[in-house]
Structure 1
Amino acid sequence: MQLPMSLRTGRLTLRQLTAADLPVLVREIGRWEVAQWLIHVPHPYSMADAEGWLAITCARRGTGTLLHLVAVPDGGAEMIGAIGLDMAAGGEGEAELGYWLSPASWGQGLGTEMAQAMVACGFRDVGLSAIEAAVDPMNHASNNVLKKAGFRIVRVDPLHPRGLRGGPAPANIHRITRTAFEANHDHA
């Protein structure tokens, strides 16, 4: 499967992570107000972590199991966030959506814009049948982003693995199916 190299939204270019992005990645993911919501990201976040992530994104793109793109605003030079579909995390034809946005970009609808573009890509270009996302119930902004992108909470997992954040904790499990997406979008 050929994964897209980039996507465009109304205000953003979503493109592949490059070595030039790594200092910004370290700075932004290193902010506790971002890292506290990310399950699988170490904190503090080092340049070695970023270099490892770049290698993972390149290798997994090559196998068709990860579509990871960084968000750059129109007229901007630095990434302001990232979003990805992990096709290895779900069942056959499914993926897990993950994303983050730098605090300076919060409250502007950019997270929703990223999520909507990636969901459309997942169904139209990648051929997925469903996409899920796990979100801390206290992360109201992220829960709202997913709702605006067409996801519905299908369950609350009381013991979701928290990765590097410690023991299991509750997570809202959001899901959108291809059928639901197509019912709400012109797919001509």
Structure 2
Amino acid sequence: MDLFAENELMTLGRAYMNTARLQLRPPAQSDIPHLAEILNDFRISGWLGNVPYPYGRKDAEQFIVTNEKNSGQVWMIHDTAGLIGMVGTVGELGYWLAPRAWKHDYASEAAQAATQAYFAAPDAHDLRAGYFTGNTRSASVLHRLGFEHVQTNRKYCRARGEHLLHEAMLLTHDRWATRH
């Protein structure tokens, strides 16, 4: 099966999804070395709340173990060359991409697929998300999906070891339904 042949989102069950250019699948043990390498880049971890810096193999192993129970809510993002990021809807929408995947609109594509899967659940509540002030790429992704600003607060950034200004966002089920 050609995972990248479809032009529109194709759901293969909630655990596996394809978009026009990406494959989203559950985290696996084989992701550990790639996770450790990608997230050990402060340009990524410095914008994420719960990711330490430096980020090592043990951190990646813990991520895999923690998310074994989150199938259909956490996906590893792959393009034709391999692992490029992660997107998830556990508690809130979150995502990150490896630098080689920046400026290709992959974050929007993966986040839209994850959001669509989230709101397809009959018991879906409004979806929360957020970004640290200054992360214009994340702000753009969330605004394009229809998220609205709720408040500015302070949130701890583990990689930086300090509280940063954080923009809390919300996407209601009704707003999603009218836009998609």
Q: Which residue of 2 aligns with 1:83?
A: 87
Deviation at 1:6, TM superposition (A): 1.0
- Once the two structures are superposed, what CA deviation does each residue of 1:97-153 show, in whole Å capped at 9, x if it has no partner? 111001111111100001111111110136312111120110001110111111111
| Secondary structure, aligned partner of 1:171 | strand
The 5 A counterparts of 1:1-188 are 4-58=14-68, 60-61=69-70, 67-73=73-79, 75-76=80-81, 78-86=82-90, 95-125=91-121, 127-157=123-153, 159-185=154-180
In structure 1, give the amino acid aligned to 2:109: E
The Cα of 1:11 is off from its aligned counterpart by 0.7
* Aligned-pair CA distance for 1:167: 3.1
Q: CA-to-partner distance for each residue in 1:41-67, whole Å, 9 max, x for gaps?
A: 111111111111111001x327xxx81
SS at match of 1:135: strand
- Per the alignment, in what secondary structure is the counterpart of residue 27 of structure 2? coil
Q: How many residues align?
A: 168
Q: Deviations over 1:8-36 (max 9, x none)?
A: 11110100111111111111111111111
Which runs of 5 or more residues in structure 2 are unaligned? Answer: 1-12
Structure 1: any 5+ residue segments left out of the alignment?
A: 87-94
Amino acid at match of 1:130: D
Which portions of structure 1, spanning 4 or more consecutive aligned residues, are displaced by more than 6 angstroms?
Answer: none
Cα distance in 2 between the residues matched to 1:57 and 1:108: 27
1:52-109 Cα deviation digits (max 9, x unpaired): 1111001x327xxx81100011x33x210001111xxxxxxxx311110011111111
Q: Among all aligned residue pairs of Structure 1 and Structure 2, give the percentage whose two residues are the same amino acid.
A: 27
C-alpha change, 1:82 and 1:40, in structure 2 (3 Å) is same
Pair 1:107–1:126, CA change in 2 (3 A): farther
| Secondary structure of residue in 2 paired with 1:80 | strand
Asked whether the equivalents of residues 45 and 159 of structure 2 are also in contact (C-alpha less than 8 Å), the reply is no
Question: What is the TM-score normalised by the length of structure 1?
Answer: 0.83
In structure 2, how many angstroms separate the alpha carbons of the residues matched to 1:169 and 1:162?
7
Q: Within 1, Cα distance between the matches of 2:35 and 2:122?
A: 26
- Supply the distance in 1 between the matched residues of 2:123 and 2:23 (Cα, whole angstroms): 22
Preserved contact between residue 46 and residue 157 of structure 2 (Cα < 8 Å):
no
The answer (yes or no) to whether the contact 1:130–1:175 under 8 Å persists in 2 is yes
